[in-house]
Chain A
Amino acid sequence: MKRSLALAMLLVMSLAPSARAANEADYKAAYAAAEAASKEAAGMRNQWTVTVSALAAAKKAADGGDFDRAVAAAREAEVLAKASIFQATSEKEAWKAMEIR
């Protein structure tokens, strides 16, 4: 659990804009990572709508040749997907705290 938190922080930091402009390869790598995470979330039956829209935005930007924007959106999608995976994992037990007893 602590590890996921650190992971989320790292991801946030990795979103800091880099000095050089992104290219297609950067986009493909970022998109593949985001897609893998979002598939995992969907497999846990916990996809977020915002992950789906960020992935779509990434694709659209890349199609228009704007790889800076495409990479940013793909990374955003990855962070969101990872947060949803974390949510689904912790809720496996945490839901019991909400139960009316």
Chain B
Amino acid sequence: MKQRATVLLGSAFVALAALAFAATRVIAADKVDPVADAKAFQNFFFQKFPNVKHEDFVNGPYSMNEDMKRQWQEKEEFPPYEFALDAGKEMFSTPFKNGKTYADCFPNGGIGIRQNYPYFDEKEGKVVTLELALNRCREANGEAPYSYVKDEMASLTAYMAYTSRGKPMDIKIPDDPRALAAYENGKRYFYTRRGQMNFSCASCHVQSPGERIRAETLAPALGILNAMPIYRSEWSGMGTTSRRFVTCNSQTRAVPLEPQSDEYRDVEYFLSYVANGLPISGPGARP
């Protein structure tokens, strides 16, 4: 019985997908234009939510709902990420075994630079996220890398975000065809439907922000990374960007990719680029 239902669902999905496919044939392939993309992306949200102040989009679900926003502002008096922030600060200033620190790996000693990540590394030919840069710093100094989905990484990125609060996101796409390709790949990943539920990131965070899914209010895609990492009561702890991507993939019954896989790096690049100009607000706290 259960099997029949699943299979029916599977074939219904195939039929639907076939329709969707037929309908999209008309759109011609045109060239990648990130500046125009970012403008259209921001305008879409500004028009859809005319009452939300532009800089408020970076507060995820709280930008969508006045009641929630009030609860959040009360919470900010005793923020639940404080513990992670203190831990991150401590970790950041504690020397590695070789005597160096994280500050030696980053521009400006790692302070106030969150808004420049991820960046495109022309030597490697790939996108480098803050989480990746932190682990590379550790490995370059003879330390074992941290898990991308656990507390240590969340604490470090929380501290780095905190020192950058209020700075406008400032992602560059250098004049390098590989950078443009990475951006385009991130965009493709963001809009591609996946999982048995046939959802893309956009199905939830573009088409349905402000709506509730189970007990949660969906965050708008605009500025969706500015508050990372986040504390979530549901996780009873902090979550990194990697952890969030993995969780979102699983929700659609798609097997998540490895943290810091090319697709995840590229989608982070895309989402950050289209949020250029909006302030860093991390670390965030969620209900």
Contact = CB atoms under 8 A, between A and B. Distances in A.
Contact of A100 (B3, B10, B44, B257): B44
A12 B20 contact: no
Interface stretch (B59-67, B142-150, B160-168, B185-193): B185-193
Contacts of A46: 194, 254
Which interface residue of B13, B23, B29, B255 has the most chain A CB atoms within 10 A? B255
Nearest to B194: A46
Interface of B: 3-4, 6-8, 10-11, 13-15, 17-18, 20-25, 27, 29, 37, 40-41, 44, 187-188, 191-196, 198, 200, 202-203, 206, 250, 253-255, 257, 263
A87 B193 contact: yes
Nearest to A48: B196
B255 A15 contact: no
A29 interface: no
A84 B192 CA distance: 12
B24 A76 contact: no
Contacts of B192: 91, 95
B54 to A, nearest CB: 16
A99 interface: yes
Interface in A1-52: 1-2, 4-5, 8-9, 11-12, 15, 42, 45-50, 52
Contacts of A5: 14-15, 18
Contacts of A80: 6, 10, 196
Interface string A90-101: 110111111111
Which interface residue of B10, B24, B29, B41 has the most chain A CB atoms within 10 A? B10
Interface string A69-90: 0001100100110011011101
A79 B10 contact: yes
Contacts of A72: 3
A94 B17 contact: yes
Contacts of A9: 11
B205 to A, nearest CB: 11
Contacts of A49: 195-196, 250, 253-255
Given A47-B255, A48-B253, A49-B195, A94 B14 contact: no
B202 A12 contact: no
Contacts of A79: 7, 10-11
Contacts of B195: 48-49
A4 B6 CA distance: 18
Contact of A8 (B14, B29, B193, B202): B14
A42 B3 CA distance: 22
A47 B15 CA distance: 19
A97 B253 contact: no
Contacts of B198: 87
Contacts of A86: 14, 17
Given A46-B254, A49-B196, A76-B3, A90 B17 contact: yes
B196 A98 contact: no
Contacts of A47: 254-255
B204 to A, nearest CB: 12
B187 to A, nearest CB: 7
B20 A83 contact: no
A67 B204 CA distance: 40
B4 to A, nearest CB: 8
Nearest to A69: B3
Given A93-B25, A99-B191, A100-B44, A87 B13 contact: yes
18 contacts: A5-B14, A5-B15, A50-B196, A54-B6, A76-B6, A83-B14, A87-B17, A87-B193, A87-B194, A88-B194, A90-B20, A91-B192, A91-B193, A94-B193, A95-B188, A98-B191, A98-B193, A98-B206
